[in-house]
Amino acid sequence: MREVVFDTETTGLSAAQGDRLVEIGCVELVNRVETGRTFHCYFNPEREMNPDAQAIHGLSDAFLADKPLFEDEVENLLDFLDDSPLVAHNAMFDFSFLNHELGACGRLHLPMSRMVDTLAISRQKHPGAKHSLDALCTRYGIDRSHRVLHGALLDAQLLAQVYVELTGGRQIGLGLGEAAPLQPMDALQSLTRNPANPGARALRPARPHAASPEELARHAAFVATLKDPLWKDAAEDANVDASTIPA
């Protein structure tokens, strides 16, 4: 299954009050494994940066001045997102900005049904704990030493690792090919291919496993050499041939 983990940086906290998207970073997962494909872009917001926001991500008006407008990159972004589920931390915030930008250039909003919120997953899995991206990286032993400032692509890459841990851990990506897992009886039965029908499986006959008369005689001789074994009296009281009891 393909999923896209993404993060955004903005000029402020409210798209409804005129704040704009200035950066987006996306990471592709297939079956919860990073493929190496990413999408990353800065945008000119056509408005001044809020100083509080700049202190978080470090993106200045001067840096963004020559960057493309959102509408200039929207086609490339939508091509990357495709119809995959979209994973974000506190996803409603990112969706609100992304949908505001899409609406402003005449595109359809992304439906909430595509949203996967790792903040909600973390709150359910770790009630009472801290749920910031930094805290989750610490919890799961994910290296974030290079995260000095927020950055959309870096944060999306960290979140992709966190998401895998939140939803089962790294072992979910270690399947060997497309073979179906063995059923309980498959592990107990020896199977062979039927030459007449290569796609079918036929049970191999069970091998004989009863002791031969010679083996029984040798065992009885051995039991006769034992001196007063604890189980012999109980076997005689129960009228059981002691020579048939494993030594």
**Residue-wise pLDDT tens digits, 38-80:** 999 999 999 999 999 999 999 999 999 999 999 999 999 999 9
Query: Does 150 qualify as catalytic in the annotation?
Result: yes
If asked whether residues 136 and 222 sit together in one domain, one would say: no
Catalytic-role residue among 40, 150, 209, 219:
150
Question: How high is the pLDDT of residue 246?
Answer: 58
> How is residue 4 annotated by DSSP?
E
Pairing of strands 115-117, 86-88: parallel
- End position of a domain, from candidates 124, 151, 173: 173
Name the H helices within 174-238.
213-224, 230-237
pLDDT at 185 over 70: no
Question: How high is the pLDDT of residue 125?
Answer: 95
The pTM (predicted TM-score) of the whole model is 0.68
Rounded-to-integer distance, Cα 154 and Cα 145, Å: 11
Residue 32: count of CB within 10 angstroms of its CB = 16
In a domain, 225, yes or no: yes
Of 105-109, 123-127, 177-181, 204-208, the least confident? 177-181
If asked whether residues 144 and 220 sit together in one domain, one would say: no
If asked whether residues 51 and 162 sit together in one domain, one would say: yes
Dihedral sign for Cα atoms in the order 161, 164, 166, 170: negative
If asked whether residues 46 and 156 sit together in one domain, one would say: yes
In a domain, 118, yes or no: yes
* C-alpha torsion angle, residues 104, 153, 29, 4 (rounded to 10): -10
Instruction: Determine the average pLDDT of the residues in 122-129.
Output: 96
In a domain, 200, yes or no: no
* Residue bearing the bigger pLDDT, 203 or 97: 97
Question: How high is the pLDDT of residue 243?
Answer: 55
If asked whether residues 66 and 163 sit together in one domain, one would say: yes
Question: How high is the pLDDT of residue 217?
Answer: 87
Question: How high is the pLDDT of residue 208?
Answer: 66
Cβ 53 vs Cβ 11: under 8 Å: yes
CB-side exposure of 229: number of CA atoms within 13 Å?
Answer: 15
In a domain, 187, yes or no: no
If asked whether residues 155 and 218 sit together in one domain, one would say: no
Range of the domain at 231: 213-244
pLDDT band at 239 (very low <50, low <70, confident <90, very high): low
Rounded-to-integer distance, Cα 151 and Cα 153, Å: 6
Which of 112, 117, 21 is CA-nearest to residue 72?
A: 21
In a domain, 71, yes or no: yes
**Number of structural domains found in the chain:** 2
- How does the average pLDDT of the chain come out, rounded? 84
pLDDT at 175 over 70: no
Instruction: Determine the average pLDDT of the residues in 133-143.
Output: 94
Question: How high is the pLDDT of residue 122?
Answer: 97
